Amino acid sequence: MSPERNKRIVSMLDKRQVDLTVCLENVHKPHNMSAVVRTCDAVGVHYIHAVWEDKYRLRGGTAMGSDQWVNCAQHDTIEAAVSSFKQQNMQVLVTHLSDNAVDFRDIDYTKPTAILLGQEKYGATEEAIACADQDIVIPMVGMVQSLNVSVAAALVLYEAQRQRQLAGMYDTPVLEEQERQRILFEGGYPRLAHLCRQKHLYYPRIDEEGQIDADDAWWEAVRKA
Specify the pLDDT at position 61: 42
- Which residues pair with residue 114 across a beta bridge? 21, 92
Does 134 lie in the same domain as 39? Answer: yes
For residue 206, the cross-strand partners are 212
**Residues 134, 194 within the same domain:** no
Element of type H or E holding 71: strand 71-75
| Residue ranges making up the domain that contains 123 | 17-166
User: Which helix H or strand E contains 136, and what residues bound it?
Assistant: strand 134-137
Q: Which residues are annotated as a binding site?
A: 95, 138, 147
Output DSSP code: residue 106.
G
Q: For the chain, what is the domain count?
A: 2
pLDDT value, residue 60: 40
In this predicted structure, what is the pLDDT of residue 67? 62
Q: What is the pLDDT of residue 66?
A: 53
Which H or E element spans position 181?
Answer: helix 177-188
Residue 144, Cβ density class (10 Å: 0-12 exposed, 13-18 middle, ≥19 buried): exposed
Q: Are residues 42 and 120 in the same domain?
A: yes
CA distances from 68 to 37, 179, 183 (A): 11, 12, 8
Contact 42, 90 (CB under 8 A): no
Taking only Cα atoms into account, the Rg of the chain, rounded to an integer number of angstroms, comes to 20
7 in a structural domain: no
Domain identity same for 51 and 92: yes
Does the global pTM surpass 0.85? yes
State the pLDDT at residue 146. 74
Do 51 and 123 lie in one domain? The reply is yes
Last residue of a domain, one of 145, 166, 187: 166
Cα–Cα distance for residue pair 160/146, rounded to 1 Å: 20
pLDDT at 55 (0 to 100): 52
User: Binding site for S-adenosyl-L-methionine: residue ranges?
Assistant: 95, 138, 147
pLDDT at residue number 30:
80
What was the pLDDT predicted at 168? 97
pLDDT tens across the length of the chain (225 residues): 899 999 999 999 999 999 999 999 888 788 888 889 999 999 999 999 999 766 555 444 444 445 678 998 889 899 999 999 999 999 999 998 888 999 999 999 999 999 999 877 777 788 989 999 999 999 988 877 778 889 999 999 999 999 999 999 999 999 999 999 999 999 999 999 999 999 999 999 999 999 999 999 999 999 988
pLDDT at 116: 95
